[in-house]
Amino acid sequence: MAFGKNGVHMAEPQVPGVSATGGAAVRAGVPVLEVNHVEKVYGSRNNVTRALADVSFSVDKGEFVGIMGASGSGKSTLLNCVSTIDTVTSGNVVINGADVTRMKHAKLTRFRREQLGFIFQDSNLLDTLTARENIALPLTIARVPAKETLARVGQVAQRLDIAGVLDKYPYQMSGGQQQRVAAARALVTDPAIILADEPTGALDSKNARLLLESIEAMNRQYQATVLMVTHDSFAASYTNRVLFIRDGRIFTELRRGDSPRREFFDRIMEVVAMMGGEGSDAL
């Protein structure tokens, strides 16, 4: 596991089933994710929807990348193709050097569990488990020793400021706390990439901000690589780079560089307006 003191990413002892890299060496500037000419067509002959058309991009280790676009532009389809939940029509997706579009079912299940972290709009926590047990679940499934599991869960919870809810059940937590627990669950296995689809979609603005700060902390303190779909310019302003998609194609991208978040937000809003809307409502 790679959680050191002060958030330093340390050399990791080999934990069976929970390798951060699946054995592949990860170097700075090396893409964790490569999406190559991905096309996705739904339906057959008379009723065809081309949800994605020739989408290519890559994400480096430690990047926090946003995907923005209007409703129906293909954001979820893209994330589902990357996360192996959906299959591509053509093109391929490579994660940590492994072509997931050619992986067979059994291997894929394991790959998903070990290499991918998920945060959805709804937390998908198990109602009968406490927050601690929910966060621990992926490690329990991977047969990580109990002592180490507890230590990891405690550390992640502290970093994401949810240590106080660890013994609560989902119904005893606010929506925002549930989402931060879900974020901790996505992070705890130290996955190659964390995939989030509208993670703030069901939250009020205060809780959205807290969740985004948690994801930002995951990214900065653990060098977690995050790909986040959102239609919200405010959420997108927390990322390092935003890909804008329209009609299933990448329209343009914005890099934050060293700009403060507010300035990045303004630049995002400009692109949103240019893409044909009045404000973020158009996306």
Ligand X SMILES: Nc1ncnc2c1ncn2[C@@H]1O[C@H](COP(=O)(O)OP(=O)(O)O)[C@@H](O)[C@H]1O
Quote the CA–CA distance of 49 and 77 in Å, as a whole number. Answer: 12
Quote the CA–CA distance of 201 and 83 in Å, as a whole number. Answer: 19
* Contact (CB, 8 A) for 34 and 94: yes
Q: According to CB under 6 A, which one of 19, 76, 96, 225 is a site residue for ligand X?
A: 76
Q: How far is the CB of 134 from Mg ion (least distance, A)?
A: 24
Q: How far is the CB of 79 from ligand X (least distance, A)?
A: 8
Stretch in the footprint of Mg ion (CB under 5 A) among 3-11, 35-43, 69-77, 82-90: 69-77
Stretch in the footprint of ligand X (CB under 6 A) among 69-77, 90-98, 120-128, 260-268: 69-77
| Count of residues that interact with Mg ion, criterion CB under 5 A | 2
Neighbours of 96 (CB within 10 A): 25
What mask, x for binding Mg ion by CB under 5 A, covers residues 76 to 105? x-----------------------------
Q: Counting contacts by CB under 6 A, is residue 276 touching ligand X?
A: no
In the bound state, the residue with its beta carbon closest to Mg ion is: 76
* Contact (CB, 8 A) for 69 and 246: yes
Packing angle of the helix pair 175-187, 146-159 (nearest 10 deg): 130
Q: Counting contacts by CB under 5 A, is residue 179 touching Mg ion?
A: no
Q: How far is the CB of 247 from ligand X (least distance, A)?
A: 9
Q: According to CB under 6 A, which one of 23, 37, 42, 126 is a site residue for ligand X?
A: 42
* Contact (CB, 8 A) for 58 and 35: yes
* Contact (CB, 8 A) for 83 and 35: no
Neighbours of 5 (CB within 10 A): 7
Secondary-structure percent of the chain, ordered helix, strand, coil, rounded to 5: 40, 25, 40
Q: How far is the CB of 75 from Mg ion (least distance, A)?
A: 5
Q: According to CB under 6 A, which one of 23, 43, 257, 277 is a site residue for ligand X?
A: 43
Q: How far is the CB of 69 from ligand X (least distance, A)?
A: 5
Quote the CA–CA distance of 64 and 67 in Å, as a whole number. Answer: 10
Stretch in the footprint of ligand X (CB under 6 A) among 65-73, 136-144, 207-215, 272-280: 65-73
Of residues 246, 214, 235, the one with CA closest to residue 52: 246
User: What SS3 class is residue 32?
Assistant: strand
Q: According to CB under 6 A, which one of 4, 8, 23, 49 is a site residue for ligand X?
A: 49
| Count of residues that interact with ligand X, criterion CB under 6 A | 12
Q: How far is the CB of 281 from ligand X (least distance, A)?
A: 14
Judged by the rule CB under 5 A, the positions of this chain that interact with Mg ion are 75-76
Judged by the rule CB under 6 A, the positions of this chain that interact with ligand X are 42-43, 49, 51, 69, 71-77
